[in-house]
Amino acid sequence: MDKIKKIKGFSDVFSPRSDSYTLLEAKARDIFFRYGFEELRVPILEKTELFARSIGTETDIVQKEMFTFPDRKGRSLTLRPEATAGVARAYIENKIYSSRDISKLYTIGPMFRYERPQKGRQRQFQQINAEILGSTAPETDAELLLMLNSFLRDAGFQKLSLELNSLGCPQCRPDFLKAVSDFLSRQDEEALCPDCRRRSRSNPLRVYDCKINTCREQIKKGPVLTEYLCGDCRDHFQTVKRLLGISGVQYRINPNLVRGLDYYQRTTFEVLSEDIGAQSAVAGGGRYDGLLKDLGGPDLPGIGFACGMERLLLILGEAPNPQSDFFIAPLSQKAKEIGLLLACQLRAKGLRGDVAFEGKSLKSQLRQANKQQAAACLILGEEELTRSTVLLKDLSSGEQSEIRQEDLLTALPLSRQ
């Protein structure tokens, strides 16, 4: 019978790589907690309409990348391709806005996009998301960016650059979209990819998000969005930039940065890294002040960001192999029973370790202890059982000493680093 293999673009994650995810998540939870954020866990499966209405029907995500299928009643369901839409749906459905003016929420978990698997991006990938709902203040934008910067720096990232843009608002964006449409109508259609030819008529802003070089070269000559901002949007953007400046966060303006989702307006941003070879985005986000209303909720603003954990771990690398404080080597059946009880007592005190129950030779058990990078091997033979002691072998120095069982906790060496 043929073996069943995993689906292309989906990964099995073992230690130490799984430990790397855990450490990164713990760092995020620590930093976000300091900024007053609370964790929200939303379903990975939602109605397809949620993503079509929020992300935009003309985006690559909706048109090409979603895992969508009918359920047994014929309803169209989708594995979440991003987190913000689900957070917005949960916020509206549970009427969180009725009990607090400002909500700071974060989510950590898997997302799904049907695209070509590549280094740092699989079809199931892990994301860290943070959202602030209820505030229009530019200070909120700056605070979110400062938190993102703090998280990435504390996690060990160095060669990072922040790119900023403002996408305007419903009052000033129509003039810009008309200018883009006029510009595209004057271009040779052959210079644009088939998708951008269609986008130029249905959603011109999406042309700015195309990754094909010929399209990118064309749009460089096009209108610059920041030149069309209304007074309020211009003031908002100036305040964000000023606050980042006085906080010591460096950035550069990228007038062509639009991100891949239709719900963004005003502040939008990406964090790029030079450590993955060519510059590549490891985090990004922006303001989405009209999204909650578009989804049937109150007319309240929001801003958020997402970090792809696989991209981050390409830079950080894997966590070191987990180490143990002890490894118990029992040399008889009775010793296995005593070893099990001793191990439980040590674990209850916060130590990490294993007991060998397979009945192998002492030499074999010592090899196993070294493979687990244990700090010490605790040998339990007949003589040790008679005297209620253990033979403690320090696996770094090789030194051995007989220790009373009740003194083990203070006698054990620290885990080897």
Residue 156 binned pLDDT confidence (cut-offs 50, 70, 90): confident
The mean pLDDT of the chain is 86
Q: Are strands 38-39 and 103-112 parallel, antiparallel or unpaired?
A: parallel
Does residue 40 sit in the same domain as residue 124? yes
Does residue 269 sit in the same domain as residue 312? yes
Q: Is 205 within a domain?
A: no
Does residue 290 sit in the same domain as residue 365? no
pLDDT of residue 410: 84
Q: Is 293 within a domain?
A: yes
Q: Which of 316, 343, 361 is the last residue of a domain?
A: 316
Query: Biggest alpha carbon distance in the chain?
Result: 94
What CATH number did the domain enclosing 381 receive? 3.40.50.800
Question: Residue 228: is its pLDDT beyond 90?
Answer: no
* 295-298: long-range contacts, CB 8 A cutoff, minimum separation 24: 295/50, 295/53, 295/54, 295/85, 295/88, 295/89, 295/92, 296/92, 297/88, 297/91, 297/92, 297/97, 298/92, 298/97
Does residue 287 sit in the same domain as residue 156? yes
Q: Which of 83-97, 274-288, 295-309, 387-401 has the lowest mean pLDDT?
A: 274-288
pLDDT of residue 417: 42
58-90: pLDDT as tens digits:
666 777 788 899 999 999 999 999 999 999 999
Residue 145 binned pLDDT confidence (cut-offs 50, 70, 90): very high
Does residue 85 sit in the same domain as residue 128? yes
Does residue 167 sit in the same domain as residue 22? yes
Q: Which of 288, 316, 344 is the last residue of a domain?
A: 316
pLDDT of residue 14: 86
pLDDT of residue 408: 84
Does residue 87 sit in the same domain as residue 24? yes
What CATH number did the domain enclosing 66 receive? 3.30.930.10
Does residue 64 sit in the same domain as residue 157? yes
Q: Is 219 within a domain?
A: no
Does residue 266 sit in the same domain as residue 394? no
Does residue 35 sit in the same domain as residue 160? yes
pLDDT of residue 414: 59
254-277: pLDDT as tens digits:
887 876 666 788 999 999 887 665
Q: Which of 258, 281, 316 is the last residue of a domain?
A: 316
Does residue 238 sit in the same domain as residue 377? no
Q: Is 199 within a domain?
A: no
162-187: pLDDT as tens digits:
999 998 888 887 888 777 777 777 76
pLDDT of residue 416: 46
Write the CA distances from 262 to 90, 93, 253, 334, integer angstroms: 20, 22, 20, 67
Domains identified in the chain, total number: 2
Q: Is 286 within a domain?
A: yes
Does residue 343 sit in the same domain as residue 280? no
DSSP 174-200: HHHHHHHHHHHHTS-GGGS-HHHHHHH
pLDDT of residue 221: 72
Question: Residue 207: is its pLDDT beyond 80?
Answer: no
Question: Residue 287: is its pLDDT beyond 60?
Answer: yes
10-38: pLDDT as tens digits:
888 888 888 888 889 999 999 999 999 99
Is the pTM value of this prediction over 0.85? no
Q: Is 213 within a domain?
A: no
Containing structural domain, residue 31: 17-172+229-316
Q: Is 341 within a domain?
A: yes
The answer to whether the peptide bond before residue 223 is cis (omega within 30 degrees of 0) is no
pLDDT of residue 337: 92
Question: Residue 202: is its pLDDT beyond 70?
Answer: no
